[in-house]
Amino acid sequence: MKKLVALMCMVMFLCVSAAAFAADKYEVVDVKDGGSIKGIVKTSGAPADPVLDINKDTEYCGKSHPAGMYVIGAGGGVKNVIVAVEDITKGKAAPKTDTVIDNHKCAFEPLVSIAYMGQKYIMKNSDPIFHNTSIGLILAPGKKRTVYNLALPNKDQTIEKPVKVAGLESVSCDAHSWMRAFVYATPNPYAAITDDKGAFEIKDIPAGKYKVKFWHEGFGEAVVDVEVKAGAAATLDHTFAKK
């Protein structure tokens, strides 16, 4: 009997983990009368923006560079926060937009972006020096799973690759350790990046209860519950505590 219970538990566990895997499965449906989530991400106090110490290719790259990590608008709005409806399994189709990652003036442009599964990464080198673009799924602090690592030895070289792995990914260049960027790869269209004022808006969400994730390079992560009502805008402001 004990064995049977153990087996049942095992089966349950396996079924649950199988379900967890299916989380990046996404079903495209017609969304009529969807609701939206809008809000402002603020901070009660940000540290000074760090200055990057540049020690390779300094003739071209210069000696230092503002990190652009803490870009705080009037009223404490935080720029470059990724806002994503995490547990959504059904909704409208993701846009057919590709994601450009440009190596420009020894920094990645843009710093934070959204990539849509099935579309493309367009990796580009606008500099006359060697860069490589290494995209990796972030697994834990300091640990990643390489998604692509491609050389861009020459100016104006461009490489296109399909977006195949969902999740929060880091972008780095092994030749220049200060270079970094972040991409949120998603099968759905329900993610946004905050603007200069810290504002965001995500539209056409089927009515329901969701978990929304806020992620910022410096402030970290927060997950907040929200209920979206048909045809209405839910307000979801978030404040990152002082760092």
Instruction: Please report, as ranges, the residues that interact with other proteins according to CB under 8 A.
Output: 7, 10-11, 14-15, 18, 21, 55-56, 129-130, 132, 134, 136, 139, 142-154, 157, 159, 161, 164, 172, 174-177
Regarding 175 and contact with ligand HEC (CB under 6 A), the answer is: yes
Residue 170 or 239 with smaller CB distance to other proteins: 170
3-state secondary structure the chain: CHHHHHHHHHHHHHHHHHHHHHHHCCEECCCCCCEEEEEEEEECCCCCCCEEECCCCHHHHCCEEECCCCCECHHHEECCCEEEECCCCEECCCCCCCEEEEEECCEEECCEEEEECCCEEEEEECCCCCEEEEEEEEEECCEEEEEEEEEECCCCCEEEEECCCCEEEEEEECCEEEEEEEEEEECCCCEEECCCCCEEEEEEECCEEEEEEEEECCCEEEEEEEEECCCCEEECCEEECCC
By C-beta, is 121 or 240 nearer to other proteins? 121
Q: Closest separation between CB of residue 175 and ligand HEC, Å? A: 5
- Of the pair 93, 175, the CB lying nearest other proteins is at 175
Chain centroid, CA 187 distance in Å = 12
Nearer to ligand HEC, 53 or 174 (CB): 174
Residue 183 contacts residue 123 (beta carbons within 8 Å): no
One of 27, 87, 174, 237 touching ligand HEC (CB under 6 A)? 174
Binding partner selected for residue 75 from ligand HEC, other proteins, none, CB under the kind-specific 5 to 8 Å limit: none
Per-residue binder mask for ligand HEC (CB under 6 A), 131-150, x = binder: -x------------------
* Ranges within 94-133 binding ligand HEC (CB under 6 A): 132
Binding partner of residue 96 among other proteins, ligand HEC, none, CB cut-off 5 to 8 Å per kind: none
For ligand HEC, which is the closer residue by CB, 175 or 224? Answer: 175
Which residues lie near ligand HEC (CB under 6 A)? Answer: 132, 174-175
